Structure 1
Amino acid sequence: MKVSLFITCLTDQYYPRVGIALVKVLEKLGCEIDFPQEQTCCGQPMWNNGFADETRALAKRMIEIFENAEYVVTPSGSCCAMVRDYYEDALKDEPDWLPRAKKLAGKTYEFVEFLTKVLKFDPKEHAVSWNGDVTYHYSCHLRGIGMTDEASNLLQQISGLGYHPLDKKEQCCGFGGTFSMKYPQISGEMARDKTACIDKTGADTVVINDAGCAMNIEGTCRREGVQKQFTSVAEILAEGMGLLEPGGDK
């Protein structure tokens, strides 16, 4: 099975270890990974701010780059949702591009979604073991791609991992891309509420799969004096399968 990695801007710049972990896990599961060097932004910031022409240009670039991929896998539910939910809308009046957008949407998956729905990954079959107490932040854009409790269910199947449910798990962390810049006071209150819920769990580690959410929540926790470690499902799996040394730069 051939998989093309769509790493996303924020993961590439701020959380490269997530991409390394993702590749190691998928390779261990028998996937052949390639990384198209030409990839850039998916266009989501432009689309969210009403720059439709700029979005279309980036969407067409993404389509051309990943068109021949068997599967496209990304660590970001947010960017996955952009490809799946909005490319067709952005290119609806361009008959030469619309079918190509639909084709890309049909083979693009968020990492945990790909593990659970395509590879049918079972942590117990692979003797995944990771010691620690975690809580999990559910990113809003996962709703757009039909994901609900896949990540939390996966975490709870890992030997040695103590799972602590998060209150108000369906509530946004306040990032929302440029929402946090346009409405900083509202965004800040939402982030502080999320941080209070995290603190209440008593877990040492927060699992967040979307880089935007991770940056927002990590920063708020530091400012609020809530001392937590942060990681992703990919990193936990890679560490738990002996593919990546525990800890390291996040």
Structure 2
Amino acid sequence: MSGTAVSGKGPRKPRVSLFVTCLVDLMRPSVGFAAVKLLEDAGCVVDVPVQTCCGQPAFNSGDRGTARDLAEQVITAFRGYDYVVAPSGSCAGTIKVHYPEIFADDPNWLPKANELAARTYELTSFLVDVMGVASVDARYDGAVTYHDSCSGLRELKVKAQPRKLLATVDGLTLVEMTDSDVCCGFGGTFAVKYSDISGAIVDAKVKNIDATHAPTLLAGDLGCLMNMAGKLSRDGRPVAVRHVAEVLAGMTDEPPIGETKED
């Protein structure tokens, strides 16, 4: 399906369903609102269907039964839209890459999984690669550094897209950190099962963040951001942590992740 289909009344706006993600819904709703603004500014009609978890934690833990049940709910909830967009490389990657794996031996559900996978995108990738967005109308004063989340980078090839959009934000300077494409140590349930290893990985990550002297850290996955924000806070490093969508949308009134209005 195409967002530029021609009807009798002219080009039709793409109908986009926003996959909010569990963490955004529960921990950082401002990311969802920022995603809606960016999509609408790009010329999309946005809907937010009733939804549940994509099933990634269950899938990564080997609980294929629960992952399958959740995947069936997502496939059903997101039928009929031109595109499905998530402000998360990990959730979008689960739908786009792993749903076809979950249903590989099911001739009834596999076509549905493949169809959904074909129209599912991470937010910045969708804006740049599908909608052709070349710039955003936003301002953010100061230097930022950017962390490439594993799933978005490796499963969906999301790397240049957020940087292309950030380059158009007035007042913003991007300072690349060493090993921006190396894991932050979160990995969902990995951080719980292997906390010592996770701690060592995030320790190396925050040292690279600190070395940039950028007062703001951005990324496209809330799980990674919460993990890094927690470590930065515990170490007493005064770095503001935000989802890239908030900056691109010019919606930075909320305190940085892990902070309150009183901080």
For normalisation by structure 2, the TM-score amounts to 0.89
- Number of residue pairs aligned between Structure 1 and Structure 2: 242
Structure number with higher helix proportion: 1
Q: 1:67 touches 1:100 (CA, 8 Å); kept in 2?
A: no
1:35, 1:61 → 2: CA distance? 14
* Equivalent residue number for residue 7 of structure 1: 20
The match for 1:87 is: 99
- Greater CA drift, 55-64 or 141-150: 141-150
**TM-superposed deviation, 1:76:** 0.6
State, as a whole percentage, how many aligned pairs show the same letter. 42
Query: What secondary structure, in the 3-state scheme, does the structure 1 residue paired with 2:249 have?
Result: helix
Q: Does 1:63 align with 2:69?
A: no
- 1:119-150 per-residue CA deviation (whole Å, 9 max, x = no partner) reads 11111xx5543322100010000110122322
Matches within 5 A, 1:1-250: 1-37=14-50, 39-123=51-135, 126-142=136-152, 143-239=154-250, 244=251, 246-249=252-255, 250=257
Higher relative contact order (CA 8 A, sep 6+): 1
Residue 25 of structure 1 and its aligned partner are, at CA, apart by 1.7
5+ residue gaps, structure 2, are 1-13, 258-263
**Residues 14-35 of structure 1: CA deviation (Å, up to 9, x unaligned):** 1110101111121122211111
SS at match of 1:113: helix
CA distance in 1, matches of 2:119, 2:189: 28
| Amino acid in structure 2 at the alignment position of 1:174 | G
Moved >4 Å (runs of 4+): none
C-alpha spacing 1:180/1:195, structure 2 compared with 1 (3 Å):
same
Query: Which of 194-203 and 156-165 deviates more?
Result: 156-165
Q: TM-score, normalised by structure 1?
A: 0.93
Equivalents in 1 of 2:77, 2:96: separation in Å?
16
- Contact 2:78-2:84 at 8 Å conserved across structures: yes
Deviations, residues 187-225 of structure 1 (Å, cap 9, x unaligned): 001001101111110111111210110110000000111
3-state SS of 1:19 partner: helix
**SS in structure 2 at match of 1:227:** coil
